[in-house]
Amino acid sequence: MAGVAATAAAVRAGARRARDVVDEHLRAIGAREGEIHAFNTVLADEARAAADAVDETVAAGRDPGPLAGVTVALKDNMCTRGIPTTCSSRILDGWRPPYDATVVVRLRAAGAVIVGKTNLDEFAMGSSTENSAFGPTRNPHDPSRVPGGSSGGSAAAVAAGFAAVGLGSDTGGSIRQPAALCGVVGVKPTYGRVSRYGLIAFASSLDQIGPFTHTVADAALVTEVLAGHDPADSTSIPKPAPALLDGLDDGVDGLRVGRITDLPSGADPDVLERVDVAFAALERAGATIVDVTCPAFTYGLTAYYLIAPAEASSNLARYDGVRYGLRVEAADTNAMYMATRSAGFGDEVKRRIMLGTYALSAGYYEAYYGKALKVRRMIADDFAAAYTQADVLLTPTSPTVAFPIGDKTENPMAMYLCDTYTIPSNLSGDPAISVPFGTGAADLPVGVQVLAPALAEPLMFKVARALEANTS
Amino acid sequence: MSERITVDEVVHVAKLARLALTPEQLEAMTAQLDAVLEHFADIDELDLSGVEPMTQPVPLTNVLRDDVVVAGLDRDEVLAAAPDVVDGRFRVPPILGLAE
């Protein structure tokens, strides 16, 4: 199937009907969705109607926008007015949001067509898309394995050809890790770059929306559409969105690419070998490889798994059976809260709420949450020091290739370790991208991660493009 | 088990979080939280004196919009999503006087 830019160009020129593009993807969904389970909801009728509207715009001589006729799979934690938005949780059973997320408004205004809402780990808490109330999503490269998570449905949808673009949210790696495991590009922009209005909150100081695509150029194009200030999100950066396609192919000649010599251990040899090949490829393309140290990264996992659950325990207090979603009736309000929350949340969500409540509770706040915030500062300082010596950093995205379904479900700590290399940039707020870079064990995809300073997306995409161009 | 967290503490935290856990769930939760906290003890070896806590990546304070009237969400549409509504308001069971 054609890429994002090619599809939009053909539809805008009237050479291809958006309706045909959408029908092609709906056929792909019909052929393989039963096996993959990427979607919670497929919006076939809505997508056909939206495509027809795009075609009418073209027929009327007007421009539908830079994503004309481009199909999008939307993670089911982003609000769509009148369309169920579940977070893959029973607690939002039956809920239809009264408004659209800003990213949904922006995508539609650019001519994109949403084909469905994708599966995720419940409330985006997980690294495998197994913690869903609606069952796991499977990896299109090997359906006995996980697609990664928590945005595993969107990653799998793009990898399987169900949609040209996936949208995910990344709190500790939930876009980049599934991108790596599914062999697609995944982007976490700078914190605040993309509006989170209408993204159902998990950990508000960490969450960021970004795209999945097959190519770096397509990811840049979609990020251009998504990025920019939004008055409806008070954490949105009040700066214009950067141009990302200009200079994308300029290469890495003269750039300094940092290798973190004290990176936390735990990555498999097949993954580390691909990262070495990536360093060599960039060096051949003219970059200089420099050694940097980031000693606090080793403590990033602990800081993250205190801060994120702490914020989640607060954010998820709103699910109380009063204003939306599930209610389990009981004799009084407090009993109703407890019955509703106990029936509505799955095991991992309960575990994180408990962990976060504990870390914030009297007597433990300083020992856990307070310390975690200081470690967060140390990690941001490590990045700042590294960027005085290097323009970008290169690391593995995930410590392993896609693992078998059920492999880590009984051991929360083993699952948490999947996020070792993606967490630091959520803590610092800096942008990062995972680029498919060949295969490792069992011929499964390996992703290499490019990390860049805050707001340096143009540089990040340029290096990612150079990696993509030198993958062989 | 190192007993970084006890069953009694888990019972207390569950109450704070408004979660009802069965005895089996309490036992499993205690063991899992204990294992996680065991791992998290790694930060105890750090000297954090003088380190400024970091609560958010992009420090923006007092973000205000212009004081102009804009349309809010449609009330009927919002209430339509609620489990129980009466006279344009959310309806809940009795708040005082029953359990506990």
Question: DSSP of A419-434, one letter per residue?
Answer: GTTTHHHHHH---EEE
CB within 8 Å: A371 and B99: no
Q: Name residue A377's amino acid.
A: R
Strands A71-75 and A432-439: unpaired
**Helix (H, G, I), strand (E, B), or coil: what is residue A95?**
coil
Core vs surface per residue A220-236: b (16+ CB within 10 A) or e: bbbbbbbbbebeebebb
B42 contact A CB<8A: yes
Least confident of A250-264, A434-448, B53-67: B53-67
The pLDDT value recorded for residue B97 is 64
Overall average pLDDT of the A349-359 stretch: 97
**How far is it, in rounded angstroms, from Cα B93 to Cα A329?**
8
The pLDDT value recorded for residue A472 is 66
Tokens of B12: 């207390």
Is the Cβ–Cβ distance between A43 and A115 less than 8 Å?
yes
CATH class of A4-226: alpha beta
How far apart are the CA of B15 and the nearest CA of chain A, in angstroms?
9
- Contacts for A441 with CB less than 8 Å, ≥ 6 apart: A268, A270, A401
Nearest CA in chain B to A238: B60
In this predicted structure, the answer to whether residue A232 has a pLDDT above a threshold of 70 is: yes
A380 contact B CB<8A: yes
Nearest to A339 among B16, B20, B51 (CB): B20
Task: Tell me, yes or no, if A75 is annotated catalytic.
Answer: yes
CB-count exposure of residue B68 (10 Å: 0-12, 13-18, 19+): exposed
**How far is it, in rounded angstroms, from Cα A290 to Cα A388?**
11
Task: Tell me, yes or no, if A150 is annotated catalytic.
Answer: yes
| B21 interaction partners in chain A (CB closer than 8 Å) | 342, 350
The pLDDT value recorded for residue B65 is 85
Task: Tell me, yes or no, if A462 is annotated catalytic.
Answer: no
The pLDDT value recorded for residue A61 is 98
Least confident of A50-54, A113-117, A177-181, B63-67: B63-67
How far apart are the CA of B41 and the nearest CA of chain A, in angstroms?
8
Could you report the per-residue pLDDT of A26-35, keeping only the tens digit for each? 999 999 999 9
The pLDDT value recorded for residue B61 is 83
Is the Cβ–Cβ distance between A355 and A309 less than 8 Å?
yes
Is the Cβ–Cβ distance between A218 and A87 less than 8 Å?
no
CB within 8 Å: A378 and B46: yes
- Contacts for A9 with CB less than 8 Å, ≥ 6 apart: none
The pLDDT value recorded for residue B2 is 54
Could you report the per-residue pLDDT of B34-43, keeping only the tens digit for each? 999 999 999 9
- What percent of chain A clears pLDDT 90, i.e. is strictly above it? 97
B71 contact A CB<8A: no
Tokens of A153: 């449905």
Nearest to B53 among A95, A332, A370 (CB): A370
Overall average pLDDT of the A144-157 stretch: 98
In this predicted structure, the answer to whether residue B1 has a pLDDT above a threshold of 80 is: no
Helix (H) or strand (E) holding A396: strand A392-396
Q: Where are the beta strands (DSSP E) in chain B?
A: 85-86, 89-90
Overall average pLDDT of the B76-99 stretch: 89
Domain extents in chain A = 4-226
The answer to pTM > 0.95 is: yes
CB within 8 Å: A413 and B97: no
ipTM: 0.94
In this predicted structure, the answer to whether residue A256 has a pLDDT above a threshold of 60 is: yes
CB-count exposure of residue A241 (10 Å: 0-12, 13-18, 19+): middle
Residue A227, strand partner residues: A194
Overall average pLDDT of the A234-245 stretch: 94
**How far is it, in rounded angstroms, from Cα A410 to Cα B5?**
19
How far apart are the CA of A11 and the nearest CA of chain B, in angstroms?
34
**CATH for B7-45, options being 1.10.260.40, 1.20.1090.10, 3.40.1390.20, 1.10.20.60:** 1.10.20.60
The pLDDT value recorded for residue B76 is 92
Tokens of A269: 């040899």
CB within 8 Å: B40 and A354: no
The pLDDT value recorded for residue A467 is 98
Residue, of A213 and B99, whose pLDDT is higher: A213
Query: What mean pLDDT is reported for chain A?
Result: 97
Confidence of residue B60 (pLDDT cuts 50, 70, 90): confident
Could you report the per-residue pLDDT of A397-419, keeping only the tens digit for each? 999 999 999 999 988 889 999 99
Overall average pLDDT of the A333-355 stretch: 97
The pLDDT value recorded for residue B98 is 57
In this predicted structure, the answer to whether residue A20 has a pLDDT above a threshold of 60 is: yes
B86 contact A CB<8A: no
Could you report the per-residue pLDDT of A188-208, keeping only the tens digit for each? 999 999 999 999 999 999 999
Overall average pLDDT of the B28-52 stretch: 94
The pLDDT value recorded for residue A111 is 98
CB within 8 Å: B33 and A358: yes
A303 contact B CB<8A: yes
Nearest to B81 among A96, A333, A374 (CB): A96
